Amino acid sequence: MTDECIFCRIIRKEVPSQPIHEDHDLIAFPDKNPVAPVHVLVVPKEHMVNLNEAGVKDVPVLGKMLRLAAKIANEKGVAESGYRVVINNGDDGGQIVPHLHLHLIGGKGLEHKLG
């Protein structure tokens, strides 16, 4: 974890959030600027800037992130109608917070274009 990273600060409970899931490896909470009725961030507790820093040892947590996204989609009622799972990676990929995370987005029709 880093001192400046907003997600690390959320994980350490220094910044309030409304977790909808938390375990040893992950925390999930609503995006503070949602682009759809369901917009949840799934964040690994171990600080990694992006996928480029993920190694073989991180594969279980990455898989767990995807499974948690599917579980939350089901709980939020968007699994049947459809949802999007996005990882923005690096500046050109649209990543704003330099801590690996995924966006679960659903609850309305999403455009077919990426992003």
Enumerate the active-site residues.
Answer: 101
How many whole angstroms separate alpha carbon 69 and alpha carbon 27?
11
How many whole angstroms separate alpha carbon 45 and alpha carbon 26?
5
How many whole angstroms separate alpha carbon 56 and alpha carbon 73?
27
In which residue are the tokens 């709980």 written?
75
How many whole angstroms separate alpha carbon 97 and alpha carbon 89?
10
User: Which long-range CB contacts under 8 A does 62-65 form with residues at least 24 apart?
Assistant: 64/25, 64/26, 65/26, 65/102
